[in-house]
Amino acid sequence: MKYLNTFIILVLVATCFTFLHDLQAQDEGNLPSSTDNTMLEAEMTGPFQTPELVVPADAVTELNAEMARTAEFYTNLMWAVYCGTGEKNIRKSKAAYDVLIKEFGQDDASSIISDKILSLPDLSFVYTERAKLRFNTLQNIKGAEDDVEQAIELNPENVQATWLLAQILVRRVFSTTENRRSADVQALQERMFTALEQVIELDPDHHRAHYYLGTMARDIGQIELAITSFKALTRIMPYDDQFHRELGELYEMQNRLEEAMHAYERVVTIRPQQVSARNRLGQLYLQTGNYPAAIETFLVTLTQLEAQAGNEVSNSRLRNRNPARAAREMSETVIEVHQGISLAYQAQNNFEKAEFHITRAIELLEEQGASIRSGTRRVRSADRVALTRRLRDARYTLGQIYLRFNMPRKAVDAFAKILATDANYVPALSGVGMAYQMLDDLKRAEVYLRKAVELSSENELPDVYNALGYLYAEQGIKLDEAALLVRRALKSSPTSGAYLDSLGFIYFKQGKLDAAIENLELALRYLPDTPEILWHLTDAYLQKGLKEKALQTLEHAIRLEPDNAEFRERFDALKAGK
Phi-psi region of 145 (alpha: psi -120 to 50; beta: other; left: phi over 0): alpha
Longest CA pairwise span in the chain (Å): 157
Are 452 and 469 a contacting pair, CB within 8 Å? no
Q: Is residue 106 part of a domain?
A: yes
Picking from 356, 439, 453, 344, the residue whose alpha carbon sits closest to that of residue 398 is 356
> Virtual CA dihedral for 269, 273, 276, 282, nearest 10 degrees?
50
* pLDDT tens track for 206-224: 999 999 999 999 988 899 9
Q: Is residue 98 part of a domain?
A: yes
* pLDDT tens track for 92-144: 888 888 888 887 765 444 444 544 567 888 889 999 999 999 998 888 999 99
- The number of folded domains in the chain is 2
CATH no. for residue 121?
1.25.40
In this prediction, residue 461 has a pLDDT band, given cuts at 50, 70 and 90, of confident
Domain termination site, one of 458, 491, 522 = 458
In order of 102, 169, 483, 528, 554, the CA distances from 532 in angstroms are 93, 67, 19, 11, 11
Mean pLDDT of the 181-195 span: 88
The pLDDT of residue 310: 59
Q: Is residue 79 part of a domain?
A: yes
Q: Is residue 152 part of a domain?
A: yes
List the domain range (segments joined by +) for residue 103: 1-18+66-156
Q: Is residue 275 part of a domain?
A: no
Q: Is residue 303 part of a domain?
A: no
Q: Is residue 380 part of a domain?
A: no
* pLDDT tens track for 151-181: 999 999 999 999 999 999 999 888 877 676 7
CA–CA gap between residue 102 and residue 343 (Å, rounded): 73
The pLDDT of residue 404: 93
Q: Is residue 566 part of a domain?
A: no
In this prediction, residue 326 has a pLDDT band, given cuts at 50, 70 and 90, of low
Phi-psi region of 221 (alpha: psi -120 to 50; beta: other; left: phi over 0): left
Q: Buried b vs exposed e over 320-347: b needs ≥16 C-beta within 10 Å? A: eeeeeebeeebbebbbbbbbbbbbbbbe
CA–CA gap between residue 243 and residue 124 (Å, rounded): 34
Looking at 214-223, 457-466, 506-515, 539-548, which range is the least confident one?
457-466
Domain termination site, one of 156, 190, 223 = 156
CA–CA gap between residue 531 and residue 171 (Å, rounded): 67
In this prediction, residue 553 has a pLDDT band, given cuts at 50, 70 and 90, of very high
Are 106 and 154 a contacting pair, CB within 8 Å? no
The pLDDT of residue 69: 75
The pLDDT of residue 158: 95
CA–CA gap between residue 481 and residue 477 (Å, rounded): 9
Looking at 41-45, 353-357, 361-365, 375-379, which range is the least confident one?
41-45
Q: Which residue has the higher pLDDT, 497 or 326?
A: 497
Mean pLDDT of the 321-326 span: 60
* Residue 50 pLDDT exceeds 60: no
Domain termination site, one of 97, 128, 156 = 156
Residue type, 193: F
Q: What percent of the chain is modeled with pLDDT above 70? A: 81
